[in-house]
Each structure stands twice: as structure tokens, then as C-alpha cells.
Amino acid sequence: MTHDLYNSKTTRHIEQTQVAAGAQLMVRAGLAAAQWVAARFPQETRVVVLVGPGNNGGDGLTVARHLKEGGYKVRVHYLGSSRAASAPTARALELWHRAGGTLDDSWDEHNDLVIDALFGIGLSRDVPETVANLFTRIETSGQKVIALDIPSGLDADTGAIRGKALHAHTTLTFIGDKPGLHTAEGQDYGGQVLVFNLDIPANAFPTGDLQLYQPDTLPPKLQRYQASHKGSYGTLGILGGAAGMAGAPLLAGRAALRLGAGKVRVGLLGSALAVDLVAPELMLTTARETLNQSHDVWLAGPGLGQSPEAIDLVAGLLGRQEPLVLDADGLNVLSSQPELARLCAERHVPAILTPHPAEAARLLACPTSQVQQDRLEAAQELAQRYQAVIVLKGSGTVVCDNKCVSINGSGNAALAAAGQGDILGGMIAALIAQGMSSLEAAKFGVFLHGAGADLWRQEFAAAIGLTASETIDYARKILNRLPTE
């Protein structure tokens, strides 16, 4: 289900407004988390709560107190000076001591469950080396970790790691969901994410800063009528396939056919094939012949290469006004040719650019590490610079234009395989051919691609060995299982 995500600034504003109105959010958060733990772990579970002086530590102390009062053996490992505790955390410390609790300075590895309440969403620096070493010890011990609000060391807004972070099995996040839990390193460190809104009324939440995109119905544009024909679902032209690279555009074309495009023509730069024996429905010609044909939407880049002819083909498409998806070498050509970048930015119909992080770095003329440090900012900068719809691929794919930003809520590590980008480009182009807007097609295509991999993983739990060809058919299953509105 698609839902809002809130950055740290917005979350703090909601929190401060509610506290000023008298809401005891720390009490609610601590009780909710304690009840969640008690419902899943028996009383003999040995629990240690990792606590710092900030408000996140106060949440942890409240959890510890409730669990102790419920009969659990609970230790609190407090890092930092109690004199530095925030006022709410100082109050939680007082209540913990009244309940007979103590603070432990040394780490005991003989525990079953670690509740991480050390750093919250306000972390603005790399974690100290001593804390990083503690994280390593915890992870080496194999203890299960439950994070409160955000895994310590993970940036709540970007999903980047601040030096070192603690892997959580489950994250119990409070007030609203956080972007950093769903992109970059967030999915690996956050584990299962559960949102507790702490009984804050719905009208107290502003519109989200962005969305986690997980549609549960078929878009109206894709609903089919009896009185239709192949022309009703668009004609797609694909340019690519330099010598030795014909497989890439063929994969894109097969994906486009299986996701509903009416007709697909593939123009190859290398020696043109007579037929694709796997998908004979594809029309195969040379790149120039395809460019001279009329198409409702274009995809350029799979296996395209960066030859002078490839540059000329991309330039020709950028000068036209049909919807255009640029992927792979189409992006590399764009990043190497300033004049093409200008043409892209001046298009009346914004292009869709689908870079992976290294391609995004080339488009922005910056290191790949800089892109990954703040994927949301990088995607939005690309959208502004190229006046385009951006699909920044990776863990938690970011889709945006100049107005709207979303993080895709599907997909898994099985997609780390050759050809997956090619079929994604074909899927997005096919959705545009069937009448979806560029932004919605990008969001929905990315979702279907990831959801197909999720469906496959139900059969192959280790996520090893998914091919792009297989993903196409699983994505088609997802598409046809979505109910109509």
C-alpha cells in the first residue's frame, strides 16, 4: 500500500507540536514497543537495551521499565553521561531507577535480544569508534536486534551509513515512516519496518515529503476493453544492439510485449537479425529504418554503444517530441555530449532517464559515492538539470520529476543481474505506449519489475539465480493479478 514518508525535520515538527499539546509520545512509544516485544518473546528472554542520552534513549528506557515490570530480565547499557540526558530522557531515567533498574557500563554478550535505542533520527555525525566497535561485537555475537525508530548509525533521511551502523532484524519506527529505511543501505539495516503512529490524529500529519510507492490496484489506463485492437496499445520503437550486444534490445522488446505494448519494433545497430525465435512477434530492422518509422514512444540505449552513429541516433530522438526512455548507453552518450544534455533539457515532453548509480554519477559529473550518500538529492538534481523524469536504480529505486518524489517499495537482491535494466526500460516504455504518463509509467514499471522479483523469491528464498528473462514473466503475473479499482 502506498504511504507517506517523512524526513527528520517534518517528523520533529509533528513531535514538537503534539508534545506542546500535551501528548506523552515517549510514554506511548515505550509502551507500544514493550507490548510488541512481550507478544513475541518469552519472559525468559534476556534483554539488553542500548541507550543514549537523547530522546531515543528515553524511548529505550521506557521499554526497559515496562519489560522489567512484566517479569523480564532486563539490563540497560547506557552510553554517555546521564548529565547530558535530554529532559524527557532524564525523566525516563528517574522512572527506571524507581523501578529498581540500574545502568551497566560494561557490555555483556550473554543476552538473547538487543533493543537499540542509542541514536535516533537526529544523528548528524559519524558514530564514535568505541560505539562502532560495540556494533561489531553485537553483530558477531549473533544476538537479535530490534531498533527503535531507526537503526543506530543509519541516516533517517538518506539511508546512508554514518561510519558504522547496527543491523536490525526489525525496526519499530515512530510517528511516521522514514525515507532512510527504504533506500540505499536502509533495507539491509532496517529489516522489517513497522510503523507506530502513537495515536496521533490523522489531521495532525501534513502531506508526506515523499512516498513509498506500493500500488495495490491496476491503473485505470491499463484496463482493457473488448472493442480494442493492437493499435489501441501503442507502437514502441527500440534503438540499440551494437555488434555483439543484440541481446539487450531483444530483452527490452520481449518485456514490452509481455507487459502489453501493441507493437514493438527493434532497430539494431549491428547486423540486423531476421527474427527473434523466442519472441517472433518483435519486428526487427536496422536502427536507421526504425528511426524512419512512426512510433508512439521510444526506448534508446540497450546495447547501443557510444559510436558516432549511436550519438546521431540519440540526438535525432532528443529532437523529436514523442515520449522517450533513455537507458544504459543512451545515458552514457548523454553524459558525454553537452549539446545533447541541452536538447534533453529543452524537450517539450520530458524524457525518462533510468541510470544506475555509476551512470547517475557520470550525468552529474561527480563520484558514485556522492550519489549513494544521498540518493534522493541526486535524483532530484538530475531531474532539475535534465528536465526529465528520473529513475535512479538501486536498493530503494528513487523515481522523481521536478515536483514529486517516491521510493519504490518492491524488489530484492535477486535483481542484481545482467539484463534487468534492459527489461525495466522495456516495461516502462510499454506502459507509456498504453497511455500512462511518463511519471506514472516510471513508478509503476519499477514497481512491477521489483514485485516480479519478490514473487519469484517466494519460490527461491536465497534470491540466487534470477534471470532477466524470468523476471519478465513474473512481472506479467503481478500485473494481471492486480484488482481493478
Residue 191 is assigned to a ligand binding site: no
Residue 101 is assigned to a ligand binding site: no
DSSP codes, 304-346: --SSHHHHHHHHHHHTS-S-EEE-THHHHHHHH-HHHHHHHHT
C-alpha cell at position 46: 534476556
Residue 7 is assigned to a ligand binding site: no
Residue 247 is assigned to a ligand binding site: no
* Angstrom distance (rounded) from CA 168 to CA 277: 47
Residue 124 is assigned to a ligand binding site: yes
At residue 256, φ and ψ (nearest 5 deg) are -65, -40
Residue 71 is assigned to a ligand binding site: no
Distances 255 to 71, 117, 169, 279, 366 between C-alpha atoms, Å: 56, 45, 35, 10, 32
H or E element that contains 148? strand 144-148
Residue 168 is assigned to a ligand binding site: no
Contacts of 462 (CB under 8 A, 6+ apart): none
Burial of 73 (0-12, 13-18, 19+ CB in 10 A): middle
Residue 86 is assigned to a ligand binding site: no
Burial of 142 (0-12, 13-18, 19+ CB in 10 A): exposed
Q: Rounding to the nearest 10 degrees, give the CA dihedral for residues 255, 258, 264, 269.
A: 20
Contacts of 362 (CB under 8 A, 6+ apart): 331, 332, 335, 336, 355
Residue 199 is assigned to a ligand binding site: no
Residue 244 is assigned to a ligand binding site: no
Residue 175 is assigned to a ligand binding site: no
Residue 260 is assigned to a ligand binding site: no
Q: What is the largest CA-CA distance in the chain?
A: 82
Residue 80 is assigned to a ligand binding site: no
Residue 30 is assigned to a ligand binding site: no
Residue 438 is assigned to a ligand binding site: no
Residue 104 is assigned to a ligand binding site: no
Residue 397 is assigned to a ligand binding site: yes
Residue 305 is assigned to a ligand binding site: no
Residue 123 is assigned to a ligand binding site: yes
Residue 81 is assigned to a ligand binding site: no
At residue 19, φ and ψ (nearest 5 deg) are -65, -40
Residue 57 is assigned to a ligand binding site: yes
Residues belonging to the binding site for (6S)-NADPHX are: 55-59, 120-126, 149, 248, 303, 356, 422
Residues belonging to the binding site for AMP are: 393-397, 421
Residues belonging to the binding site for K(+) are: 56, 116, 152
Residues belonging to the binding site are: 55-59, 116, 120-126, 149, 152, 248, 303, 356, 393-397, 421-422
